[in-house]
Structure formats: structure tokens, C-alpha cells
Amino acid sequence: MVQQKMKQMPYIIGISLNLIFVLTELVFARVAHSTALFADAFHNLSDVLALVVAWLAVIVFGLKSTSKRTYGWHNVSILASIFNSVLLIFAVITIFYEGISDLINPGNVRTSGTMIMIVAAVGIAINFFTAMLFKASGSPDEHGHHHDQDLNSKTAYIHLLADAGVSVGVIVAGLLIQLTGWHVIDAIVSMIIGVIILVTSWSVIAETFNLALNSVPEKIDEKKILNYLQSHQGVNRLHDLHIWPLSTTEVALTVHLSVKDNVDTQILLEDISQTLRQDFDINHVTIQIETAVFDQICNSI
């Protein structure tokens, strides 16, 4: 229980700090009349949501399954990821709408370059501090070694550092506005940030869509799995091979195998199950053994 709480602590601190900063940045974006700060706030919000998804994964894996929810609450991470993706798309559309509007109708509003720099600098400090929390909790050190690291911690660490990098760009924009008085820079930078959000998040959005449809997760090579099962010395034929996500990090597989004569089915089950788990990253394996008499060709991939 204590170890579970320790795993959650970086997420709780990171989500709290960054969410407070996002709300503050949205306020100052209006005060400073800056679409760049507005865009940066949504960029930071995208990583807050990513942290929430990762945190949910830590939480739900600690919850026991029930007679009604035999896989527990693991699908919650997929639902959260769907919400995250929809909000990101909305954010990018809003950023481009605001940026283009400012370019077409700049009006008499003057953007405060100094305020942009100050707020963005605070964002860098918060992102860097939070990233160090995840680094200390198990992200790779400078030699590339991993110490009790999970994928969620590593991803959060990288995203937070990337956020800090984007905030550096906002500071540069604020400095240029202050030095040149070209307020159009603010709108241009905001759209650049919008492109960054879209490019860096597109693979996650696409993968989330696939997970929602129970497609084979991106990290799984279904062709290699099919080839392994078909070429196994104890397997005669196979059908009804299904691979689908249980969560954003867990994968399940079911398959019907028709085995050859004189094969010890228990040894075959143990061998295939262990290989699927260790070599193909399948977390839950269910295999049904059949004789050739019951072999049916249906739903094969």
C-alpha cells in the first residue's frame, strides 16, 4: 500500500502544480492579450491530461477485479485517453481560430512581451521541477540505466521536458515583441505551438482511436505472433485468434489451437503462454486446445 502511494505521488504533485499553472496562464493570456500564452496553456493542459491518464493506469491496476468487472477497471485508462484526444483536437482548432483572427483583425490591442516572458519562465520552472520528480521516481539516468522504471513515468518525464522547451519559445516570442513591437509575432507563435501539439499528439490520438475499437495495439506485431503460432512444432492449425487492449498498457490474446497427435498439451500450453508473455508482450493469454475434428476456419487474421 505504501509503495502504491509512493508511485502515485509524482503524478499527484505534477497534476496539481501544472493544473494550477494552466489556469493561471489562461488568466494572464487574457491580461497580456497573448494568443501565444493561450496556446502554451493548452499545450501544458495536454500534458496534464496525459499525466491524468498515466495516473489512472497506476490507480486502476491496484484495484481488484469483481464478479461484474472481471478485468477490473483497466479500461478506464482508455476512456480517459479518448477524452484527452477529443480535448486536444478542440484545443488545436481553438488556437488556430484565435491566431488567424488576430492576424486578420489585429485591432488596437497591444501584447505585453514582458508579461509573456515572466509567465512562460514560471512555466519552465514548474515543468522542469515536475520532470525531475519523475526522473527521481525511476526515469533513466544520464547513463541510460533504468531503475524500477515504468513506461508511464518515462513518458511523463519526456513530455514535461518538451513542455519546458515550448515555453522557451514563448519567452523568445515575448522578447521579440518587446524589442521590435511586432505584435503579429504573438499570433504566429501561437499557431506554431498549435502545430507542435498536433504533430506530437497525432500518434497518441490515432492509437487511442485504435484502442477504442479494440484494434491490435501499436506495440504488438500480430503477424509475428500468427507466424509463431502457425510454425510451432506442436500446432497443427489455428483459428479465432484475437488480440485486443485491456488498457493503455495491457494486452489480451485468445486463440483456438488444433494440436498434433501425441503432443503433451500441458507442456505446449506452458511453452506458448510463456513465450507470448515474455517475447510478444501479451499480458493475458487464453488458449483453447482442440482436436483436428473440431477445427474450424473462422475469424482468422
Write down the pTM of the prediction: 0.69
Over the stretch 21-48, which tens digit does the pLDDT of each residue have?
A: 999 988 988 888 888 888 888 888 877 8
Q: Which of 9-18, 65-74, 150-159 has the lowest mean pLDDT?
A: 150-159
* pLDDT more than 70, % of the chain: 84
The dotted CATH code for 222-294 is 3.30.70.1350
Mean pLDDT of 173-186: 85
Question: Looking at residue 149, what is its pLDDT?
Answer: 39
pLDDT digits (tens, 9 = 90+) for 195-229: 888 887 788 788 888 888 999 998 899 999 999 99
* Lowest model confidence (mean pLDDT) among 47-56, 129-138, 163-172: 129-138
pLDDT at 49 over 60: yes
pLDDT value of residue 231: 92
Whether pLDDT at 109 is above 70: no
Q: What is the band of 179 on the pLDDT scale with cuts at 50, 70, 90?
A: confident
Fill in the amino acid letter for 260: K
How would residue 230 be classed by pLDDT, with cut points 50, 70 and 90?
A: very high
Instruction: Give the start-to-end residue ranges of the domains of the chain.
Output: 2-212, 222-294
pLDDT, residue 300, reads 52
pLDDT tens track for 242-282:
999 988 878 999 999 998 888 889 999 999 999 999 999 99
